[in-house]
Structure 1
Amino acid sequence: MPLKAVLFDMDGVIVDTEPLHRKAYFNMFDDLKIEVSEEIYTSFTGASTKKVCETLITEYQLEKNHEELALIKRRYFKEYFYNDADFQLLPGVKNLIQNYFENGIKLVLASSASMTTIDMVFDKFDLEKYFIAKISGADLKESKPHPEIFVLASELANERKENCMVIEDSTNGILAAHAAGIFCTAYKSEHSFGQNYEKATLVISDFSEVEFDKISTHF
């Protein structure tokens, strides 16, 4: 069965926004004059902005609602997003996207990020023209590791699951692809801490390893 579509995760695969979120949150903590330990901050990993803000309000008896806190955080995030020189596409991913595109592979983005953040990334790095569809997990009923996002992505590509491949970097994303019954390439990078790759079909550390000619032999 030939490869027809690649379903990309975004954070940790195309870009790494975690350093920007971290800077934005710690600026917000300074504004609120609260001390948030590394241990508490780490416990926020993977949580939505709303959930983090609600937790802060309870923990620190803050006299603001979660929308007000989220506005402060988002303002800082946007500033870093457009002005932080260190924020770039992950090494080799643009070449890989172009390589698939030139070989007629359909590309779908399937990310847990909000559509606002997805659109910001696509606009900043000029990715729109390569992808036939974008899905935000924020708009779905279920979150990774539930397979819903990848099942939907294969449907949007209008290809059978056997003709699709997922590229993921996180345990939850790999589990979601596995549960969907889709070939999953796990990208293990310097940004991947404590992730479990057991359920991945293939593990790579360089995107050149899955360029069209090389990955086609697996299908």
Structure 2
Amino acid sequence: MPLKAVLFDMDGVIVDTEPLHRKAYFRMFEDFGIDVSEELFTTFTGASTKRVCNTLIDTFGLEADHEDLARIKRHHFKNYFDTDPDFDLIPGVKSLIENYYDNGIKMVLASSAHMNTINWVFEKFELEPYFVGKISGADLQESKPHPEIFELAVQMAGEHREHCMVIEDSTNGIEAAHAAGIFCTAYQSAHSKNQDYTKANLSVFDFADIEFEKVKKYF
């Protein structure tokens, strides 16, 4: 039962856009005059912008629709994306992607991020040649922790789920992979705080620990 495909989350796994998203969200909160607690904000990790915006509308009784909130948030995010000097790939992930590519592993991106954001990241860091497909949770009916995004990613890879592995860093993403019945590696990033890794099959702090030669023994 060899490993044939790896399904990557993006935020917290390939890039750490969370600080940029955080800045953009809190600028948007200011624009709408709402006070979002750290406790509430933590629950948004790994969720689509649409789901976050709908939660805000319900919680704070906002008159705007989710697209209004999302548009303003994306405006702030793109500004930070283009100008923040600290924004870069997660250490070691480019080597991991190249390692899988050299070993004939198919790679699919399955992220809750908007497709615009995914494309900006792929263009900025020249990732397009390595991946066979990209899925944005923003285009789907359901959001992580629902398994829909990973079920579609398996189809996109053209492999059985038993031959696939998900790499995730958030509670919602790990639960989505678990619900889809796919082997899940939790990347314990320094940036991903207060996340629950208990449903992951494997947990690592360093991408070197899941290079093909080391991880194939699980399949």
User: TM-score, normalization: structure 1?
Assistant: 0.87
Does the 8 Å CA contact 1:107/1:157 hold for their aligned counterparts? Answer: yes
Shift of 1:53: 6.1
The answer for the alignment partner of 2:57 in structure 1 is 54
The answer for the alignment partner of 2:180 in structure 1 is 180
The answer for the alignment partner of 1:42 in structure 2 is 41
Shift of 1:52: 6.0
Q: C-alpha separation between the residues in 1 aligned to 2:187 and 2:31?
A: 36
Give the direction of change, closer, same or farther, for the CA distance of 1:57–1:89 in structure 2 (3 Å limit).
Answer: same
Cα root mean square deviation, aligned: 2.4
User: TM-score, normalization: structure 2?
Assistant: 0.87
Q: C-alpha separation between the residues in 1 aligned to 2:101 and 2:211?
A: 11
Q: Give CA deviations for 1:168-214 in whole Å, capped at 9, x if unaligned.
A: 11112112111222111110111121211111111000000000111
Shift of 1:140: 1.8
For 1:42-191, what aligned pairs fall within 5 Å after superposition? 42=41, 45=44, 46=47, 48=49, 50-51=53-54, 54=57, 58=61, 67-191=67-191
Q: C-alpha separation between the residues in 1 aligned to 2:197 and 2:143?
A: 19
Give the direction of change, closer, same or farther, for the CA distance of 1:120–1:152 in structure 2 (3 Å limit).
Answer: same
Q: C-alpha separation between the residues in 1 aligned to 2:73 and 2:148?
A: 29
Give the direction of change, closer, same or farther, for the CA distance of 1:207–1:68 in structure 2 (3 Å limit).
Answer: same
Aligned residues: 215
Give the direction of change, closer, same or farther, for the CA distance of 1:182–1:77 in structure 2 (3 Å limit).
Answer: same
Q: C-alpha separation between the residues in 2 aligned to 1:38 and 1:57?
A: 12
Does the 8 Å CA contact 1:6/1:105 hold for their aligned counterparts? Answer: yes
Does the 8 Å CA contact 1:57/1:65 hold for their aligned counterparts? Answer: no
Q: Give CA deviations for 1:91-143 in whole Å, capped at 9, x if unaligned.
A: 11111001100111000011111111111111111111100011111222222
Gaps spanning 5+ residues in structure 2: where?
A: none
Shift of 1:73: 2.7
Does the 8 Å CA contact 2:49/2:138 hold for their aligned counterparts? Answer: no
Q: C-alpha separation between the residues in 1 aligned to 2:163 and 2:48?
A: 32
The percentage of counterpart residues that share the same residue type is: 61
Shift of 1:37: 5.2
Deviates most, 152-161 or 45-54: 45-54
Gaps spanning 5+ residues in structure 1: where?
A: none
AA in 2 matched with 1:42: F
User: What is the DSSP-based 3-state SS (H/G/I as helix, E as strand, rest coil) of the residue aligned with 1:196?
Assistant: coil
Give the direction of change, closer, same or farther, for the CA distance of 1:47–1:3 in structure 2 (3 Å limit).
Answer: closer
Q: C-alpha separation between the residues in 2 aligned to 1:156 and 1:174?
A: 19
